């Protein structure tokens, strides 16, 4: 009990010492919290999106066959369906019709899609929640677009897709096959691409190789590759996230270095006085370590807690300008709270320990010198 009380007395002293320099320590705590907040927000958001992507794309087409012309995606002739269906191992193959339309009224891009069951009646459309929001339309309203030949093609909105599905359907515009072909001028013997179902999932690669051999101008995309694309989204090794991370780490390194590289005259005098009145070197180091631990633990808890609220309760609002880019449609999707324990432990380790340890070296250097020398 006496040992515990002694530690508590040291903690009281450490806190009083922090309180003697309120502005400096408050500024340090704010910067520290901001760094943890930024790193945690990126970490939580990327993990949650990867998790949702894996769940949502589990039922994605097993194989998509595109036609490439001069390195670019081109419309695929319908007779390729027969070639694909003839490949051993193929259970079914069907053409997909989808494409993009730029709506000059709101400068937004929509994804036009014909549902595989062709369940949409001619002249009608089902629209995604972001399309409805940006155009201010709902069931019963009419939307008209200029077709490929300049003639208007009108759609009566029958319903909107629920906002809870915005992560896959925010910009969708579901129309009938006839309307789609009329709007874009796509002939009846062309599809956008072909979706293939495989009899035995373990034979996907073999079947893909056979299709590739039968259709040399085709490009085949496997479901695994679709999922892998989203496994690396917001990856820390790529693009803006890397820039952000490097910036934050550099800021943190400068901040820690400033702390580690030297003590202020006040701090030196304080250590000298403590030594002069009989404090052991170990106690002085202990007090200063406690100061570092209090700062880093508080910053971690505050930064991480704020990041959790930011990502899962406020829709990662601060990242919106970066994610939105130049697009007009910005899907607002709820993310299910989920945490990667290893990522969280790494973040804790790399933010709390370096700072605490960084405080030891200069304190130790000051604490081992003669008190009279330190106070001069």
Q: Which residues from 179-198 bind another protein, rule CB under 8 A? A: 193, 195
* β-pairing verdict for 193-198 and 90-103: antiparallel
- Single residue of 86, 338, 370, 373 touching another protein by CB under 8 A: 338
We find the least distance from the C-beta atom of residue 371 to another protein, in angstroms, to be 25
8 Å CB contact between 68 and 241: no
Q: Where does this chain touch another protein (CB under 8 A) — which range of 145-153, 175-183, 250-258, 322-330?
A: 322-330
Q: Scanning residues 243 to 282, which ones bind another protein (CB under 8 A)?
A: none
Q: Where does this chain touch another protein (CB under 8 A) — which range of 26-34, 110-118, 245-253, 354-362?
A: 110-118
- Residue 217, interface with another protein (CB under 8 A)? no
- Residue 29, interface with another protein (CB under 8 A)? no
Q: Scanning residues 73 to 102, which ones bind another protein (CB under 8 A)?
A: 73, 96, 100
Element (H, E) at 36: helix 22-56
- Single residue of 141, 189, 225, 280 touching another protein by CB under 8 A: 225
CA 104 vs CA 108, 135, 321: distances in Å = 7, 11, 22
Nearer to another protein, 109 or 156 (CB): 109
Q: Where does this chain touch another protein (CB under 8 A) — which range of 81-89, 156-164, 352-360, 363-371?
A: 156-164
CA 296 vs CA 40, 178, 289, 299: distances in Å = 15, 63, 10, 5
8 Å CB contact between 348 and 60: no
Q: How many residues bind another protein (CB under 8 A)?
A: 95
Q: Where does this chain touch another protein (CB under 8 A) — which range of 82-90, 114-122, 263-271, 353-361?
A: 114-122
- Residue 159, interface with another protein (CB under 8 A)? no
- Residue 166, interface with another protein (CB under 8 A)? yes
Q: Which two tokens stand for residue 166?
A: 């915005």
- Residue 241, interface with another protein (CB under 8 A)? yes
CA 123 vs CA 141, 178, 183, 209: distances in Å = 12, 9, 11, 40
Nearer to another protein, 89 or 375 (CB): 89
Element (H, E) at 152: strand 152-160
We find the least distance from the C-beta atom of residue 177 to another protein, in angstroms, to be 14
- Residue 370, interface with another protein (CB under 8 A)? no
Q: Where does this chain touch another protein (CB under 8 A) — which range of 12-20, 142-150, 254-262, 272-280?
A: 12-20
- 362 vs 374: CA distance, rounded Å: 12
Backbone angles phi, psi at 299, to 5 degrees: -65, -40
We find the least distance from the C-beta atom of residue 307 to another protein, in angstroms, to be 9
We find the least distance from the C-beta atom of residue 176 to another protein, in angstroms, to be 14
- Residue 320, interface with another protein (CB under 8 A)? no
| Nearest CA among 157, 162, 98 for reference residue 125 | 157
- 233 vs 311: CA distance, rounded Å: 16
Only one residue has tokens 């400033």, namely: 258
8 Å CB contact between 51 and 312: no
- 347 vs 92: CA distance, rounded Å: 47
- 164 vs 173: CA distance, rounded Å: 16
- Residue 58, interface with another protein (CB under 8 A)? yes
Nearer to another protein, 116 or 138 (CB): 116
Other C-beta atoms within 10 Å of 282: how many? 10
Q: Scanning residues 119 to 138, which ones bind another protein (CB under 8 A)?
A: 128, 130
- Residue 51, interface with another protein (CB under 8 A)? yes
Q: Which residues are CB-neighbours of 297 under 8 A, at least 6 positions away?
A: 352
Nearer to another protein, 27 or 242 (CB): 242
- Residue 211, interface with another protein (CB under 8 A)? yes
- Single residue of 55, 106, 273, 373 touching another protein by CB under 8 A: 55
Q: Which residues are CB-neighbours of 126 under 8 A, at least 6 positions away?
A: 120, 157, 158, 159, 160, 161, 172, 174
We find the least distance from the C-beta atom of residue 228 to another protein, in angstroms, to be 3
């Amino acid at each position: 009990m006496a040992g515990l009380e002694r530690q508590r007395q040291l903690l009281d002293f450490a806190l009083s010492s922090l309180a003697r320099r309120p502005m400096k320590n408050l500024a340090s705590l704010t910067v520290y919290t901001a760094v943890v907040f930024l790193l945690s927000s990126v970490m939580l958001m990327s993990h949650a999106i990867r998790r949702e992507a894996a769940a949502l794309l589990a039922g994605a087409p097993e194989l998509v066959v595109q036609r490439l012309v001069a390195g670019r995606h081109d419309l695929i002739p319908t007779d390729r369906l027969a070639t694909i269906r003839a490949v051993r191992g193929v259970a079914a193959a069907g053409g997909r019709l989808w494409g993009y339309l730029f709506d000059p009224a709101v400068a937004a891009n929509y994804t036009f899609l014909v549902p595989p069951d062709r369940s949409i009646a001619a002249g009608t459309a089902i629209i995604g929640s972001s399309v409805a929001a940006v155009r201010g339309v709902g069931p019963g309203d009419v939307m008209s677009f200029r077709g490929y030949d300049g003639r208007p093609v009108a759609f009566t909105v029958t319903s909107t897709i629920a906002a809870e599905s915005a992560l896959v359907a925010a910009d969708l515009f579901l129309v009938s096959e006839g309307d789609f072909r009329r709007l874009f001028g796509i002939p009846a013997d062309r599809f956008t691409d072909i979706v293939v179902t495989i009899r035995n999932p373990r034979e996907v690669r073999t079947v893909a190789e056979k299709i590739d051999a039968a259709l040399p101008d085709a490009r085949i995309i496997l479901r695994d590759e679709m999922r892998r694309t989203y496994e690396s989204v917001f990856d820390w090794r790529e693009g803006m996230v890397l820039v952000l991370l490097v910036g934050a780490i550099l800021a943190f390194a400068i901040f820690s270095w400033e702390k580690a590289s030297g003590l202020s005259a006040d701090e030196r005098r304080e250590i000298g006085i403590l030594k002069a009145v009989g404090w052991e070197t170990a106690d002085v180091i202990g007090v200063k370590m406690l100061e570092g631990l209090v700062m880093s633990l508080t910053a971690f808890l505050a930064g991480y807690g704020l990041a959790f609220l930011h990502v899962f309760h406020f829709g990662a609002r601060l990242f919106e300008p970066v994610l939105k880019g130049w697009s007009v449609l910005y899907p607002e999707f709820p993310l299910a709270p989920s945490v990667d324990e290893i990522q969280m432990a790494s973040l804790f380790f790399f933010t709390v320990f370096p700072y605490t340890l960084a405080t030891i070296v200069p304190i130790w250097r000051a604490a081992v010198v003669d008190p009279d020398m330190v106070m001069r």
